[in-house]
Amino acid sequence: MGFGEDAAMNGRGSKEVEDFMSGLIKRNPGETEFHQAVQEVVESVMPVVLDNEEYRKAQILERMTEPDRIIIFRVTWETDDGCIRANRAWRIQFNGAIGPYKGGLRFHPSVNQSVLKFLGFEQTFKNSLTGLPMGGAKGGANFNPKGKSDREVMRFCQSLMTELHRHVGEHTDVPAGDIGVGPREISYLFGQYKRLENRHTGVLTGKGLSFGGSHLRKEATGYGCVIFCQSMFEERGDSIEGKRISVSGAGNVAIYAVEKAIALGAKVITMSDSTGFIHDPDGIDEDKLTFIKLLKERKRVSLEGYPDKYSGASYHAGKRPWAVATDIAMPCATQNEISGEDARELLGNGVQAVCEGANMPTELDAAHAFVEAGILYGPAKAANAGGVAVSGLEQTQNAERRVWKAERVESELSTIMKSIHDKCVEHGRDGDRINYVTGANIGGFLKVAEAMRSYGAV
């Protein structure tokens, strides 16, 4: 069964989805993450395409699943002890129909073309949902910053930008951070761009406040995810206050999701990293979160030491937090971190909502299970759009050569997240339920499709 309201009700469009996917898989062999991301969208939007002859004639769906271009290049750099290393890097400019390309850079050994194509494709819909004029892109390298010295990371970033600078620009393509690319990496990348181009311009977002960054950019994805979650509860006359939240991840998105959740009175009982998860039944409060920030942002070590400081908490090596009974699951680490089995366990334990801070953290069968169960399920392209939204506001500030006050940025973020929520409700209403997956996919699709149709054959 699919996500689309119509497809779910009477199978309408399911044959077309199958045919479309079989062509896409043939054209993009072995790119399983990309297939998964496309399937989820096509299941939702096929009924819309079938109802619109112009979209069918213009092959909108076929064109929207083909990147505008893929740039792939070698990054050669030198270790501290003088050895030469080479990595592979990409920038995938997926769809520029509604604005200059915008999307993060990821440095992680698991990065490959399939992962970046799924992320670039998702980004196109997410950026459209924000209402800001931003096309979709993603990039990165199979480089692992872990265990590298600051100087090594600097040399890698400088080498990468030496090639990338000719493909990006404030009116062309504006990268930002993602997994493995935080303030340190953005600073090195921006410094090298400025040196090569001799222009101080908004070519990257997530910059430091002293050189063109925006207040609240680092908090934006996590804060936005919690605001979206709160909006889903408010839609049915409830709130996240007093609810237990299981968060995965302990990086940029997770840390600020936890910060906002605490501020709104929820009880965060888990966090995780690539080595395991912590369970704190008493709830992670502001002091405990400060300690986690110290471990992850400063010392860059695992969460293993947390229970030594906070008795009552436990650490579970090599495990994910989904077997712990909770009211809200908020995956904020990486793709495909909730399997079908995890979903059944969460549902069995009475989970009321799943709200995605990470990109595509839920496998397709798990996502289907959440939709079928009728719980509140906020998909990534809507729930985690706060980061790119504030990136868009950073671009505006750079163009104006002004820095807005933190309160103004926070209020704009809140307005944008609520408007994304309302778009999902508008396009996802299904009787007395709201299918946020359908709502986000159709809401994101329409604006891009309209722009592509208007351009004619380009």
Taking the least distance from each CB to ligand NDP, the nearer of 36 and 359 is 359
Stretch that binds ligand NDP, among 20-28, 68-76, 268-276, 370-378 (CB under 6 A): 268-276
Contacts with ligand NDP: how many residues (CB under 6 A)? 24
Question: Is 309 tagged catalytic?
Answer: no
Contact between 129 and ligand NDP per CB under 6 A? no
DSSP string, 206-265: S--GGGT--TTHHHHHHHHHHHHHHHHHHHTT--STT-EEEEE--SHHHHHHHHHHHHTT
- Using alpha carbons, select from 223, 302, 294, 228 the residue that is nearest to residue 262: 223
Query: Which of 124, 158, 221, 230: binder of ligand NDP (CB under 6 A)?
Result: 221
Q: Minimum CB separation from ligand NDP for residue 395, in Å?
A: 14
Taking the least distance from each CB to ligand NDP, the nearer of 41 and 358 is 358
- Convert 433-448 to b/e letters by CB count within 10 Å (16 or more is b): ebbbbbbbbbbbbbbb
Q: Provide CB contacts within 8 A for 376, sequence distance 6+.
A: 229, 232, 233, 236, 352, 353, 354, 355, 436
Q: Minimum CB separation from ligand NDP for residue 48, in Å?
A: 25
Taking the least distance from each CB to ligand NDP, the nearer of 334 and 438 is 334
Taking the least distance from each CB to ligand NDP, the nearer of 100 and 140 is 140
Contact between 253 and ligand NDP per CB under 6 A? yes
Residue 3 near residue 435, CB atoms below 8 Å: yes
Residue 360 near residue 385, CB atoms below 8 Å: no
Taking the least distance from each CB to ligand NDP, the nearer of 318 and 456 is 318
Tokens describing residue 142? 């199979």
DSSP string, 400-411: HT----HHHHHH
Query: Which of 33, 173, 273, 327: binder of ligand NDP (CB under 6 A)?
Result: 273
Contact between 250 and ligand NDP per CB under 6 A? yes
Q: Minimum CB separation from ligand NDP for residue 200, in Å?
A: 23
Q: Minimum CB separation from ligand NDP for residue 115, in Å?
A: 10
Q: What's the rounded Cα separation, in Å, for the pair 321 and 337?
A: 10
Taking the least distance from each CB to ligand NDP, the nearer of 139 and 387 is 387
Contact between 226 and ligand NDP per CB under 6 A? no
The CA-atom distances, in angstroms, between 166 and each of 71, 169, 197, 204, 396 are: 11, 8, 9, 14, 22
Neighbours of 248 (CB within 10 A): 25
Q: Minimum CB separation from ligand NDP for residue 130, in Å?
A: 12
Q: 289-308 mask for ligand NDP (x: CB under 6 A)? A: -------x------------
Strand pairing of 84-95 and 101-107? unpaired
Contact between 387 and ligand NDP per CB under 6 A? yes
Amino acid code (one letter) for 107: F
Phi then psi dihedrals of residue 104, to 5 deg: -80, 175
Contact between 36 and ligand NDP per CB under 6 A? no
Query: Which of 67, 136, 175, 249: binder of ligand NDP (CB under 6 A)?
Result: 249
Q: Minimum CB separation from ligand NDP for residue 8, in Å?
A: 27
Q: What's the rounded Cα separation, in Å, for the pair 68 and 9?
A: 34
Q: Which of the residues 156 through 215 are near ligand NDP (CB under 6 A)?
A: 177-180, 182
Residue 146 near residue 167, CB atoms below 8 Å: no
Determine the residue with CB nearest ligand NDP. 251
Q: Minimum CB separation from ligand NDP for residue 286, in Å?
A: 19
Taking the least distance from each CB to ligand NDP, the nearer of 78 and 345 is 345
Q: What's the rounded Cα separation, in Å, for the pair 59 and 29?
A: 21
The CA-atom distances, in angstroms, between 209 and each of 205, 217, 365 are: 11, 10, 42
Helix, strand or coil for residue 104? Answer: strand
Contact between 251 and ligand NDP per CB under 6 A? yes
Q: Minimum CB separation from ligand NDP for residue 110, in Å?
A: 6
Q: Which of the residues 333 through 372 are near ligand NDP (CB under 6 A)?
A: 333-334, 357-359
Q: What's the rounded Cα separation, in Å, for the pair 148 and 142?
A: 14
**Catalytic, out of 117, 138, 243, 423:** 138
Q: What's the rounded Cα separation, in Å, for the pair 362 and 424?
A: 19
Contact between 274 and ligand NDP per CB under 6 A? yes
Contact between 123 and ligand NDP per CB under 6 A? no
Residues that bind ligand NDP (CB under 6 A): 177-180, 182, 221, 249-254, 273-275, 296, 332-334, 357-359, 384, 387
- Which residues are catalytic, by number? 138
